């Protein structure tokens, strides 16, 4: 990671918060009867996940990319079946589609959110879209009911890639509970962190069963938990129980973490009010973000400002990701399809950190640096 003299690690958007409770949870896990992916700790973790989302079935797995792969496999789509993905997603969303021999079809997002543009989806009807993946970037909520309604009335399976959207809600209902399957990542940057890890939730018992079979070497389970292998194909993508133990203690703190981040969000919003050239990104009316990061629209072209911001110690995720429409990356260019809203959106936003590790001083410093680069500097460069 590039740093400059001004960089304080605090201002970066990576904030890993492990404490004594996490440490004890992992230490206690050494007393478990098993260290493998069949440890009872895994079932405990899955019960915690189910309870948090109010979702009947949860499956822990080794990472969030594999979670998407398991979700797609469970749908048992025909080879080459069309799976709709947004160009605003990171590579992790599209890679499993391609590696499973399915065909990614890019859909445009709405001009004012990361939600699928339903008119654009309607225009894709000749493609025979079998499944659609939504990706609420940086945890900003949109009208998910409309998207779920569209999918169910058109016979399209809905997968929510909620890696950024722990605790994101619309009308009091959590993102991850609208689709047929939702996938999450617990990579170190995510709101629940186990280093590496992921999980799927689903209301459908048969999809859960298929995912579990695939990730357990093709095992078929009976009601007692006994299993037999050799009748189905599968692989191994089980989560290690030490990570699951960490996941349990992280989930216990998730709501507090989100509340702390929301307090920082409120402060940063306030501190950035004088900067009229930045406007916060749209979220579903009446809903609050989960504090994964804050997203802002800036006026005009970037003109190197996001790089300047990074050089001042505040790295926007758009810089870290080298954020561009997925189909501009060489590996996905053959699937390119113009998505003008997505292109415009990607070129008009930055993200700012709002994690619970930021002090009042940090917040003031972020606001001052941002005002310097996106306020006065911008006006000066426009005037010249
Ligand atoms: C982090 C992330 C994933 C999964 O990443 P892993 O590193 O494989 O856990 C998937 N989708 C999105 C949008 C992500 O941010």
The domain that holds 200 is classified in CATH as 3.40.640.10
* Domain assignment present for 5: no
pLDDT tens for 238-289 read 999 999 999 999 999 999 999 999 999 999 999 999 998 999 999 999 999 9
Instruction: Enumerate residues lining ligand 1, CB below 6 A.
Output: 63-65, 89-90, 92-93, 135, 161, 163-164, 185, 187, 198
What does the pLDDT read at residue 31? 84
What does the pLDDT read at residue 18? 85
Q: What number does the ligand 1 atom closest to the CA of 198 have?
A: 9
- The residue count of the chain comes to 384
What does the pLDDT read at residue 154? 97
What does the pLDDT read at residue 6? 42
What's the whole-model pTM score? 0.95
Residues 85 and 199 in one domain: yes
What does the pLDDT read at residue 381? 54
What residue ranges of the chain have pLDDT lower than 50?
A: 1-7, 383-384
Q: How many domains does the chain have?
A: 2
Using the 3D structure, point to which of 190, 217, 252 is the last residue of a domain. Answer: 252
* Domain assignment present for 4: no
Nearest alpha carbon, ligand 1 atom 14? 163
pLDDT tens for 26-58 read 999 988 888 888 899 999 999 999 999 999 999
What does the pLDDT read at residue 16? 76
What does the pLDDT read at residue 332? 98
Strands (E), the chain: 57-61, 82-85, 103-106, 129-134, 157-161, 169-170, 173-174, 181-185, 198-202, 220-221, 227-228, 278-280, 294-298, 349-352
Residues 209 and 320 in one domain: no
SS3 content of the chain, % helix, strand, coil (to 5): 40, 15, 45
Using the 3D structure, point to which of 252, 272, 287 is the last residue of a domain. Answer: 252
Residues 173 and 269 in one domain: no
Residues 273 and 167 in one domain: no
Residues 140 and 173 in one domain: yes
What does the pLDDT read at residue 9? 56
* Domain assignment present for 6: no
Residues 210 and 284 in one domain: no
What does the pLDDT read at residue 35? 85
Residues 232 and 103 in one domain: yes
What does the pLDDT read at residue 375? 84
Residues 194 and 111 in one domain: yes
Query: H or E stretch including 363?
Result: helix 360-370
What does the pLDDT read at residue 5? 38
* Domain assignment present for 14: no
* Domain assignment present for 83: yes
* Domain assignment present for 319: yes
- Expressed in angstroms and rounded, the spacing between residue 197 Cα and the centre of ligand 1 is 9
* Domain assignment present for 262: yes
Residues 201 and 304 in one domain: no
What does the pLDDT read at residue 13? 63
Domain region containing 276: 255-383
* Domain assignment present for 13: no
Using the 3D structure, point to which of 225, 252, 279 is the last residue of a domain. Answer: 252
Residues 282 and 313 in one domain: yes
What does the pLDDT read at residue 45? 98
Which of 87, 90, 183 best tests ligand 1's pocket when mutated (most atoms within 8 Å of CB)?
Answer: 90
What does the pLDDT read at residue 270? 97
Taking a C-beta distance cutoff of 8 angstroms, is the pair 168, 265 a contact? no
DSSP letter (8 states) at residue 327: G
Residues 195 and 277 in one domain: no
Residues 154 and 239 in one domain: yes
What does the pLDDT read at residue 10? 61
Q: What number does the ligand 1 atom closest to the CA of 187 have?
A: 9
Q: What is the CATH number of the domain that holds 265?
A: 3.90.1150.10
Residues facing residue 83 across a β-bridge? 104, 131
């Amino acid at each position: 990671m590039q740093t400059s003299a001004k960089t304080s690690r605090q201002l970066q958007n990576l904030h890993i918060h492990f404490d004594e409770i996490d440490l004890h949870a992992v230490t206690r896990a050494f007393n478990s009867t098993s260290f493998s992916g069949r440890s009872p700790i895994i079932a405990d973790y899955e019960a915690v996940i189910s309870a948090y989302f109010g979702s009947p079935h949860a499956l822990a797995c080794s990472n969030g990319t594999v979670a998407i792969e398991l979700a797609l496999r469970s749908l048992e789509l025909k080879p080459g079946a069309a799976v709709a993905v947004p160009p605003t997603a990171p590579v992790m969303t599209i890679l499993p589609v391609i590696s499973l021999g399915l065909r990614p079809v890019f859909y445009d997002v709405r001009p004012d959110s990361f939600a699928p543009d339903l008119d654009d989806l309607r225009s894709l009807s000749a493609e025979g879209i079998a499944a659609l993946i939504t990706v609420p970037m940086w945890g900003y909520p949109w009208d998910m009911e409309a998207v779920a309604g569209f999918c169910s009335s058109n016979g399209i399976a809905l997968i929510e890639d909620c890696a950024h959207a722990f605790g994101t809600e619309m009308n009091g209902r959590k993102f991850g509970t609208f689709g047929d399957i939702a996938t999450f990542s617990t990579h170190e940057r995510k709101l629940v962190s186990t280093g590496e890890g992921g999980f799927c939730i689903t209301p459908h018992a048969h999809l859960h069963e298929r995912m579990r079979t695939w990730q357990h070497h093709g095992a078929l389970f009976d009601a007692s938990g006994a299993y037999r292998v050799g009748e189905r194909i599968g692989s191994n993508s089980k989560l290690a129980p030490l990570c699951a133990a960490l996941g349990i203690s992280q989930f216990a703190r998730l709501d507090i973490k989100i509340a702390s981040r929301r307090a920082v969000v409120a402060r940063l919003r306030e501190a950035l009010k004088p900067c009229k050239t930045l406007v916060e990104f749209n979220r579903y009316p009446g809903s609050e973000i989960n504090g994964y990061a804050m997203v802002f629209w800036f006026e005009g072209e970037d003109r190197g400002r996001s790089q300047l911001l990074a050089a001042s110690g505040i790295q926007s995720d758009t810089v870290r990701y080298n954020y561009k429409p997925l189909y501009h990356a060489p590996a996905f260019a053959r699937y390119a399809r113009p998505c003008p809203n997505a292109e415009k959106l990607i070129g008009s936003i930055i993200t700012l950190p709002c994690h619970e590790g930021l002090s009042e001083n940090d917040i003031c410093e972020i606001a001052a640096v941002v005002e310097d680069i996106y306020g006065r500097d911008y006006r000066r460069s426009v005037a010249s």
